[in-house]
Amino acid sequence: MEQFDYRRMAFYQIWIRSFADGNGDGIGDLYGVYDKLDYIASLGVDGIWFSPIYPSPNADYGYDISDYRNIHPDYGTLEQFRRVLDRAHSLGLRVIMDLVINHTSDEHPWFLESRKSRANPYSDYYIWRDPKWKGETRLPPNNWFSQFEGLAWEYCPERVQYYLHVFAKKQPDLNMDNPRVREEVKSIMRFWLDMGVDGFREDVITFISKHPQLPDGLPFLPVINGMPFYKDGPNLMTYLREFRAVALEYGAVQIGEAPMTPVKTAVNYLTGKDRVLDMMIQFDTMMADCFMTEYIHHPFSLPKLKRAFTKWQNALAGTGWNALYLENHDHPRVISRYGSEQFWRESGTMLAAAYLFQRGTPFIYQGQELGMTNIRLGSIEEYQDVATINTYHSFRRRQPEQKRLKHVHIASRDSARTPVQWSGEENAGFSPVKPWFAVNPNYREINAEKEEGDPESILNFYRRCLRLRKGSDTLLWGDYREYFPLHPQLYVYERSYGTERILVVCSFSGKELSWQLPGGYAWEGSALLLCNYREAPRRGLLRPYETQVLRWNTNP
């Protein structure tokens, strides 16, 4: 079946637990989602990506699935999901699900069986290995670290073996080399596609094929030392082709998450008629204030961000398609990182223009369109995320508590997981009762209700941007070119199509900034399409975090 044109679309990501509580128990759910579908459609997006909403013990809030064919009771029922799906479709919104198949929960029935013995129908569903013995001492099969929780191996006395978990202990990695596991994946895909969902965001999909020998990684590298042996592995293409065939039967779209996959490798997945993925969630644009992980922080560097943007734009020019994003449930809030909480409205709107007009399909994470910012909780006990908590306890063990907490304030994924701020009422209008997780205390200033009424708000600016993008062939299809790549505070990019050229000019400075049009441009004939200040802009001068979108047409 032919695919729908995802390239014209924009997606809104829902991390349901913190989106909207519809039945008043303090936890976001599908009743809340149903009530907010009109709001989502009003943004001008065309689809929703649901982070996992399946049954899960929540060791990693849904990314540890214990039943692939159901809805977590906290969030509703399959019936309610169907209602959401139907209504979303009737509003013109496509729906894509998170497909998490690198691992399951250790409470998934497959794993419960698998761990029982070496001889049962599920024994080979996971990656089991014998211990290494050093004299009497039992050691794990190799020296890999898990990304979330100590070593990547957990011992199981019943089997006298270890199982691999690249993420938390409660997330055992599936053995994708087992053809039966791949059949399970395909059948799960069909289950949701038969129901009418429109595609999948595929969790760490580039990790599913492991090096057959599972060799030791470099001992001095923490956390990611096994990555060269589980990322972009030898059979990845083969497996992705199998899944692709199922998706294409339904015309479904596939967006692969690919931490640390370099652009050179990515083009193999993303280009050509036989591509195995339509878009990729790359991580380069998340690294402008850190090294490998947000916990290794350095001051924000605009040139680094621009290099990442432009690298992906150029690599896929004419041959592939980008997924554009600045936030999701795995990263702190972008205003607190790349913008300025002091120039909150200005930087929140500028950042929208900095990425929404690039060539690709934009993803907007819940609350991003409101300009939600990082939360700073007083102690580690108040945090919820397994990665945050374990990193706090291990990564910088020798540092004093206040310093470690400061890292958490900068880096935690929990900043993206506070309840969405719908109004200035109690609990930010998210729920009538105390929510499952802390509400950011700034909800009286930053909330949807307040921003609805303000034409200059971040919320309404997102709407304007999405409308402009959708109505412009140049912004949808035009070539991308960057100017002044080394400028530390200015990001200028051009989109050109036929006789039209559009310049997107973004200041990342909290002070006034003078600038000049790039060579070949003149102010005559320019038209201002968009600006994030109400008062008219001045030529050659940008106010703090100002953005201007300018258009030229040589053949008006």
Residues annotated catalytic, as ranges: 203, 257
Nearer to ligand NOJ, 166 or 377 (CB): 166
Q: How many CB atoms lie within 10 A of CB 433?
A: 13
100 binds, among ligand NOJ, Ca ion, none (CB under 5 to 8 A by kind): ligand NOJ
Long-range contacts of 483-491 (CB under 8 A, 24+ apart): 483/518, 484/518, 485/303, 485/306, 485/307, 485/310, 486/303, 487/302, 487/303, 488/301, 488/302, 488/303, 489/302, 489/513, 490/302, 490/515, 490/542, 491/302, 491/305, 491/306, 491/309, 491/354
- 333 binds, options ligand NOJ, Ca ion, none, Cβ within 5 to 8 A by partner type: none
Q: CA-to-CA distance for 341 and 458, rounded, in angstroms?
A: 13
Give the C-alpha separation, 429 to 352, whole Å. 25
Q: What tokens does 302 get? A: 């605009």
Separation between Cα atoms, residue 165 and residue 153, nearest integer Å: 6
Choosing from 60, 74, 232, 369, the residue that interacts with ligand NOJ (CB under 6 A) is 60
Contact 152, 145 (CB under 8 A): yes
Q: How far is the CB of 376 from ligand NOJ (least distance, A)?
A: 21
Q: Which residues bind Ca ion (CB under 5 A)?
A: 21, 23, 25, 27, 29
The CB-of-396 to ligand NOJ minimum distance in angstroms stands at 20
The site partner of 21 among Ca ion, ligand NOJ, none (C-beta below 5 to 8 Å per kind) is Ca ion
Rounded to whole angstroms, how far apart are CA atoms 220 and 519? Answer: 48
**327 contacts which partner out of Ca ion, ligand NOJ, none, CB within 5 to 8 A by kind?**
none
List 68, 122, 126, 167, residue binding ligand NOJ (CB under 6 A): 167
d(CA 293, CA 331): 10
Query: Residue 308 has which token pair?
Result: 């990442």
Angle between helical axes of 236-249 and 263-270 (0-180°, round to 10): 40
154 in contact with ligand NOJ (CB under 6 A): no
Q: Does 207 bind ligand NOJ (CB under 6 A)?
A: no
* Block residue for tokens 């002070």: 511
Q: Does 327 bind ligand NOJ (CB under 6 A)?
A: no
330 binds ligand NOJ (CB under 6 A): yes
Indicate the residue among 47 and 478 with the shorter CB distance to ligand NOJ. 47
Give which of ligand NOJ, Ca ion, none residue 173 binds (C-beta under 5 to 8 Å, depending on kind). Answer: none
Q: Which is nearer to Ca ion, 23 or 423 (CB)?
A: 23
Three-class HEC string of 316-377 = CCCCCCCEECCCCCCCCCHHHHHCCCCCHHHHHHHHHHHHHCCCCEEEEECCHHHCCCCCCC
Verify binding: residue 63, ligand NOJ, rule CB under 6 A.
yes
203 binds ligand NOJ (CB under 6 A): yes
| # chain residues binding ligand NOJ, by CB under 6 A | 9
Does position 204 interact with ligand NOJ (CB under 6 A)? The reply is yes
Residue 6 vs 148, nearer CB to ligand NOJ: 148
| Binding partner of 204, given Ca ion, ligand NOJ, none, CB within 5-8 angstroms per partner class | ligand NOJ
User: Who contacts 124 (Cβ-Cβ below 8 Å, separation ≥6)?
Assistant: 114, 175, 178, 180
CA dist., res. 379 & res. 132, Å (int): 39
Report the nearest approach of ligand NOJ to the CB of residue 204 (Å).
Answer: 5
Task: Please count the residues of the chain.
Answer: 556
Instruction: Find which of ligand NOJ, Ca ion, none residue 23 binds, CB within 5 to 8 Å per kind.
Output: Ca ion
Q: Report, in Å, the least distance between residue 12 CB and Ca ion.
A: 20
User: Does 504 interact with ligand NOJ (rule: CB under 6 A)?
Assistant: no
Handedness of CA 391, 408, 386, 285 (dihedral sign): negative
Q: By CB under 6 A, tell whether 149 contacts ligand NOJ.
A: no
29 binds, among Ca ion, ligand NOJ, none (CB under 5 to 8 A by kind): Ca ion
Between residues 74 and 202, which has the closer beta carbon with respect to Ca ion? Answer: 74
Q: Is 106 in the site for ligand NOJ (CB under 6 A)?
A: no
The percent helix, strand, coil of the chain (3-state, each to 5) is 30, 20, 50
Question: 146 vs 548, which CB is nearer to ligand NOJ?
Answer: 146
Q: What is the 3-state secondary structure (H, E, C) of 190-243?
A: HHHHHHCCCEEEECCHHHCCCCCCCCCCCCCCCCCCCHHHHCCCCCHHHHHHHH
In the bound complex, what is the minimum distance in angstroms from residue 217's beta carbon to ligand NOJ? 19
- Closer CB to ligand NOJ, 313 or 418, in the complex: 418
278 part of the interface to ligand NOJ, by CB under 6 A? no
C-alpha to C-alpha distance for 148 and 195, rounded to whole angstroms: 34
Task: Tell me: does residue 325 bind ligand NOJ (CB under 6 A).
Answer: no
The residue (of 114 and 388) whose beta carbon lies closer to ligand NOJ is 388
State the minimum distance, in angstroms, from the CB of residue 173 to ligand NOJ. 10
Residue 91: left if φ>0, alpha if ψ -120 to 50, beta else—which one?
alpha
Shortest reach from residue 166's CB to ligand NOJ, in Å: 8
Q: Which partner from the list Ca ion, ligand NOJ, none does 46 bind, CB cut-off 5 to 8 Å by kind?
A: none
Binding-site ranges for ligand NOJ (CB under 6 A): 60, 63, 100, 167, 203-204, 257, 329-330
